Structures are given as structure tokens and as C-alpha cells.
Amino acid sequence: MRIFLTGATGFIGSAVVPELLAAGHSVVGVTRSDDGVAVLEKAGVTPYRGTLEDPEGLRAGAEAADAVIHLAFDHDFSRFVENCEKDRRVIAALGAALEGSSRPLLITSGTGLGSGHHGELAREDVTNFDHPNPRIASEQAAEALLARGVNVSVVRLPQVHDTRRQGLIAPLIETARAKGVSAYVGEGKNLWPAGHLSDVARLYRLAIERAEAGARYHAVGEAGISARAIAEALGRGMKLPVASIAPEKAAEHFGWMAGFVGLDFPASNAITREKLGWTPTGPSLLSDLDAAHYG
């Protein structure tokens, strides 16, 4: 297939590209910079100039594709609600390019949206459209496209990691460095799911090849790692003390991350494994944190 890929030069996209190419697909990768063009050309990808701020430009690129994978997201979490709405508009535009055909669109959201209540195990066959997480906008956009007959499916991401990056744990590292302590909230029993980058990249390929309209997949290698265990790993790696922060002090200590650090959102991968024959084999989150270079 000729696959149109947004976020092609990003952390996950740069791992999805070789996975797709090795399987015999051709890739048209979206980039906004000259440096991105050079990186994509070197990787054997056809560059396409585009930005999330120009959904109609992305729509034009998608119109010539056999399939679309949408990975790009603006990770400025100080403008999270605004960026989620931007994602809604992009998904709508990409879907419009495929409407009236069976060509698949694979979008991205988060595992927490498969949980009915805080702390409840997230499942692929659950979508909580009343979820307070603004990222629900992405799945609402997908649902609207499904109603119009677009072949859209969803990959829900946990904390995606290797030894270089670890999702929302990356800003925790910066906070620990700035504060001189690696911290968690309360007892630190809340759980975060995780998936190794190599496993996540393989899942995107399997999902776009299956092209099952309405399917949701969880890119989860580990159902949940406690916040305390994560903080302790960061403490070991950065040679910092580890401490509990009272919930009422979380905003003062963590800043904008305070809305995330206390979240308890374990996630299942049972349906994903069964449907796609996907078996995670990458290193664990804690082993990657222990092997990371903190500089």
C-alpha cells in the first residue's frame, strides 16, 4: 500500500516508517521542515510538506493514498485542550479524503479513554465518550467518520518508551532535575500502562493492514506500573532522593503535570493480542528507565 503518514519524523513515526517499508509498503511522510525532508528522503520515504494547522493541506495529501496513519500531535500540554480540538479537525479532514472508499484511516488516542471510571482497567471494547480527558475529541472525530462510512480505526497509546524517551515520564524527569527530588503523589499506587517503541511500531503496521472499521487497539506491553516504582527508577538513574508529595501540594510541585501524575489508568491488551496476533517483546519500562542516560 501507499501509506500517508503524519508525524513521520516523530518519536513513534520514525519507528513506524522502517516497519512499514520492511513489510513492502511505500510511505509518504508528512514533515514541516527542510531537515524533515532530508531525514525522510534518506529513509526511503516520499516527503510531503504539511502541518496540523493546515488540515486541508493534509487532506490533499491523503487523497492520493491507499491508507492513512495519523500519528502527529502537538505535544504542548500547556495548550492541551486546544491541541485536542486541532486533532479533531485534522482527523475530520483526513477522513473526508477517504470517504466513499474502503481505504483505511488509523488514528491515535490514549488508553485511558477505554476506561469507564478512574482506576478501572481500560479495555479496547469500551469507549468512554464522557471521559474528562480532552483527548476524547480524537475518538469523537473517529466516531463521526464511522457514521459516514469511513473505514477508521484507533490505536490507543500508553507511555511509549525506549531508553531515550518515555511519554509523560519525560517531563517528570525535568521536574525531578529542577526540584532535586524524584516524586510521586500520595502512596504512589496509581498505575500507568506502558509499551515499548518497537512493539508499538509493529502494532501500527498490523492495524493498518487489518483495516477493520471501528476497531480499537491498545499498544500496551505492561498493564500498569506504579507511580512510586517509576519515581524510584528515576531516583536511581538520576541519583536523587525519592519522596511522596501530598495531593494538595501536587500543583505546586509538578506544575502543569499535576493533572496527570495522580492518574490511575491501567489498561488491557487482550483483545489487541487476539485480533492482531500481536505479542509485545520489547524491554519493560523500568528496565529502559534503568538503562537511560540522564545526562
Q: What is the pLDDT of residues 148-171, one digit of tens each?
A: 999 999 999 999 999 999 999 999
pLDDT tens digit string along 173-206?
999 999 999 999 999 999 999 999 999 999 999 9
Three-state DSSP class for residue 135: coil
Mean pLDDT for the stretch of residues 260-270: 94
CA distances from 218 to 72, 76, 192, 237, 267 (A): 18, 23, 13, 29, 8
**How many CB atoms sit inside 10 A of residue 252's CB?**
10
For the chain, which domains are there?
2-160+195-221 (3.40.50.720), 163-193+223-267+282-291 (3.90.25)
pLDDT tens digit string along 117-143?
777 999 999 998 888 889 999 999 999
The pLDDT value recorded for residue 161 is: 97
Q: Is the pLDDT of residue 295 over 80?
A: no
The four Cα atoms 39, 41, 51, 172 give a dihedral, to 10 degrees, of: -20
pLDDT tens digit string along 209-263?
999 999 999 999 999 999 999 999 999 999 999 999 999 999 999 998 998 999 9
Using CA atoms, how far apart are residues 47 and 17, in angstroms rounded to an integer?
12
Looking at every residue in the chain, the average pLDDT score rounds to 96
Three-state DSSP class for residue 145: helix
Residue entry with cell 501509506: 3
The pLDDT value recorded for residue 282 is: 97
The pLDDT value recorded for residue 130 is: 86
The pLDDT value recorded for residue 145 is: 98
Q: Is the pLDDT of residue 294 over 90?
A: no
Handedness of CA 155, 275, 163, 176 (dihedral sign): positive
Using CA atoms, how far apart are residues 168 and 183, in angstroms rounded to an integer?
14
Band of pLDDT at residue 293, cut at 50, 70 and 90: confident
Lowest mean pLDDT across 49-53, 168-172, 287-291: 168-172
pTM as predicted: 0.96
The pLDDT value recorded for residue 132 is: 86
Using CA atoms, how far apart are residues 255 and 62, in angstroms rounded to an integer?
38
Residue entry with cell 536523587: 240
pLDDT tens digit string along 52-111?
999 999 999 999 999 999 999 998 887 889 999 999 999 999 999 999 999 999 999 999
State CA 235 to chain mean position distance: 25
The pLDDT value recorded for residue 29 is: 98
DSSP string, 57-110: HHHHHHTT-SEEEE------GGGHHHHHHHHHHHHHHHHHHHTTS--EEEEEEE
